[in-house]
Structure 1
Amino acid sequence: MNDDALTVLVVDDDYRVAAVHVGFVERVPGFRVVGTAHTAADAVSLAGSLHPDLILLDIYLPDGDGIQVARTLHSTPSSPAVIVISAASDVATVRQAVQLGAMHYLVKPFGFAALAERLEAFRHANQLISEWPDDATQDEVNRMFDLLRPVPAAASGEAGGRLAPTLQLIYDAVAHSDRSLSASEVAAIVGISRATAQRYLTRLEQTKAVKLELRYGSTGRPENRYSLAR
């Protein structure tokens, strides 16, 4: 079991749907499901005892709704991040979820790729927060918010077409290497800062041009390494 993985609580009233979402989460590197809940009461209780990093939260629950669960958790110290997963798509519900700080809102049914994009964006943002300086620049703040908005696979001509110059250099560095590379190694090859390399590698990963591998050492956080997506 990987103690460095981000922990997830899956909340859904349908046992079968919850099991599908658990399977989705466990396919994404760097995440581990620590519990499932099928009622609002269980969601609040398990969140309090398990302290997950993230909750996949359904809206329609037999003893309440996910909005109330999110409101309750939002008022607690170190409240978990929330991604809403629901068949509810009315404006009022979506607005309430946004007001309560939901990171993303996925309308059921959705496939693995849609959830994986949101989880990867959350993981990258969480890593950035762990390295956050005391006084962030506007560029660093922009990067944080950019990470929380997954890049569509066909966006900006970055998949299946010609890449922007810096992206092309970074892509070529990864493509021409006979092994996976870290952001620092890519930065040294291209001649840019590590932070810039990491930002563009994240974009390439989100467009499926490169793939992320987590390399675990004996101690400390896993190292992110990148190789060409085959």
Structure 2
Amino acid sequence: MNAIPVLVVDDDFRVADVHRAMVERVSGFEVVGTAHTATEARTMSERLRPELVLMDIYLPDGSGLDVVRDMRAQPDPPSVIVISAARDADSIRQAVQLGAVHFLIKPFGFHALAERLTSYQQMRSHLTGIGAEAHQVDVDRLFGSLRVVPGPGLPPKGHSAPTLERVLEAVRTSEGDVSGSEVAEAIGISRATAQRYLNYLEQQGLVRLQLKYGTTGRPEHRYLAV
């Protein structure tokens, strides 16, 4: 079976590369292009004809939701998973009205995206298996395949999403690995707070923990972007 062609859209080049790598870790998917602006997304969608688009909302030259609206006018429009830091009700409402199959709030781990890609794959398989006429059980199975058991994608109680994003960005933009103290100093928070957020990001698979052993004492915890 041919791999599902995917277009990744994100204004941040580094984030786009991370999302590309995540998608390509899931069997049955192939990233055919990455776009960083609304204009590039429109052009690449028309030229590459992806089946699935991972769409950011905040693009430098417009809204990703407007791009999705334009894509719907194409002869064979792609399915869309919205991936964004936006969490306002209006953005979510628009995404649903435009037919997005999922909405993932940044930052998230590999497993959160993999679950949604897999559910899309299952939905696609069920859709292919439906004959000329569908029974209710076929419809229920089709829509049920898109359900995902809620996971730990949102920050837990006591964690701020903006701070979580700043900590993750500090790790991603560092030259090599960083410690909790270095992250704390870089973004102006306490070491304990930085360490708490780093622990959460490591649990989500967004950063990788490395232990640095010295001559005495406990090993130092250092972190690398995934």
Does 2:132 align with 1:134? yes
Does 2:97 align with 1:89? no
Shift in Å at residue 127 of structure 1? 1.3
Q: Which residue of the other structure, out of 92, 96, 99, is the alignment partner of 1:98?
A: 96
Which residue type is aligned with residue 36 of structure 1?
T
Partner Cα separation in structure 2 for residue 85 and residue 153 of structure 1: 16
3-state SS, counterpart of residue 24 of structure 1: helix
Partner Cα separation in structure 1 for residue 95 and residue 13 of structure 2: 23
Look up the match of 1:172.
none
Look up the match of 1:145.
143
Which residue type is aligned with residue 24 of structure 1?
M
Shift in Å at residue 153 of structure 1? 7.2
Partner Cα separation in structure 2 for residue 51 and residue 132 of structure 1: 24
Look up the match of 1:115.
113
Does 2:17 align with 1:19? yes
Shift in Å at residue 130 of structure 1? 1.6
Look up the match of 2:155.
none
Shift in Å at residue 93 of structure 1? 0.6
Shift in Å at residue 151 of structure 1? 3.2
Shift in Å at residue 123 of structure 1? 0.6
Partner Cα separation in structure 2 for residue 139 and residue 152 of structure 1: 24
Look up the match of 1:50.
48
Q: Which residue of the other structure, out of 31, 37, 40, is the alignment partner of 1:33?
A: 31
Look up the match of 1:4.
2
Q: Which runs of 5+ in 1 are unaligned?
A: 155-230
3-state SS, counterpart of residue 33 of structure 2: strand
3-state SS, counterpart of residue 22 of structure 1: helix
| Same amino acid, percent of matched pairs | 54
Look up the match of 2:214.
none
Look up the match of 1:77.
75
- 1:12-33 deviations in Å (ceiling 9; x for gaps): 0000000000000000000000
Partner Cα separation in structure 1 for residue 109 and residue 58 of structure 2: 19
Which residue type is aligned with residue 119 of structure 2?
A
Which residue type is aligned with residue 55 of structure 1?
V
| TM-score of the two chains, using structure 2 as the length reference | 0.65
Q: Which has the larger radius of gyration?
A: 2
* Contact in 1 for aligned 2:112/2:151 (Cα 8 Å): no
3-state SS, counterpart of residue 92 of structure 1: helix
* Contact in 1 for aligned 2:102/2:116 (Cα 8 Å): yes
- 1:127-178 deviations in Å (ceiling 9; x for gaps): 1112221110000000000001123579xxxxxxxxxxxxxxxxxxxxxxxx
3-state SS, counterpart of residue 7 of structure 1: strand
Partner Cα separation in structure 2 for residue 150 and residue 137 of structure 1: 23
Partner Cα separation in structure 2 for residue 153 and residue 36 of structure 1: 27
Q: Which residue of the other structure, out of 64, 78, 95, is the alignment partner of 2:62?
A: 64
Number of equivalenced pairs: 152
Change (3 A) 1:62 1:9: same
| TM-score of the two chains, using structure 1 as the length reference | 0.64
Partner Cα separation in structure 2 for residue 143 and residue 151 of structure 1: 16
